[in-house]
Amino acid sequence: MQIVRAKPADAAVLTDIAFTAKRHWGYPEKWMENWRDALTIAPEFIASHEVYSAVAEGRIAGFYALGGPTDRVQLLHLWVLPAAMGRGVGRALFIHAIATATELGCREMEIESDPNAEGFYQHMGAQRVGTNCLVLDGHSRELPVLIFKF
């Protein structure tokens, strides 16, 4: 597996990965539609952010994107295809994101996590510092907010 800088031409593939990974958690399609803008990766976004892809066997298996940079960078995206989960792709992307953020001069990374991914980030060393609450289709959701300090 290689981790490479994403290209604007990868936007459709990255969008598909984000939707496929989110669907893996069994969310209703109505919710998925509500998240369309947040999960759609535009070529302009790739060109203006630190976006890296994990390539395995000639195909993109996952990606991450950072926002910032300031002393605290934001992990805006980290998605792995379900078929590649549990194979070290997410771990490799997260470690690469830390290295990238460190090179940018950041000291910590903020992560607003899907509740299903919180355990992964905690296993990687991030600590929960709060929650963001929202209502989606009449259902209250709490999104964990975590910090990873370098």
Q: What is the CATH number of the domain that holds 104?
A: 3.40.630.30
97 neighbors 77 (Cβ within 8 angstroms): no
User: Omega before 144 cis (within 30°)?
Assistant: no
| Average pLDDT across the chain, whole number | 96
Stated pTM of the model: 0.96
CA distances from 71 to 5, 52, 68 (A): 22, 20, 8
pLDDT of residue 123: 98
Q: Which domain holds residue 36?
A: 2-149
Total domain count for the chain?
Answer: 1
Would you state the pLDDT for residue 70?
A: 79
Answer yes or no: is pLDDT of 89 > 90.
Answer: yes
CA nearest to 1, candidates 77, 46, 61, 52: 61
Could you count the other beta carbons within 10 Å of the beta carbon of residue 147?
15
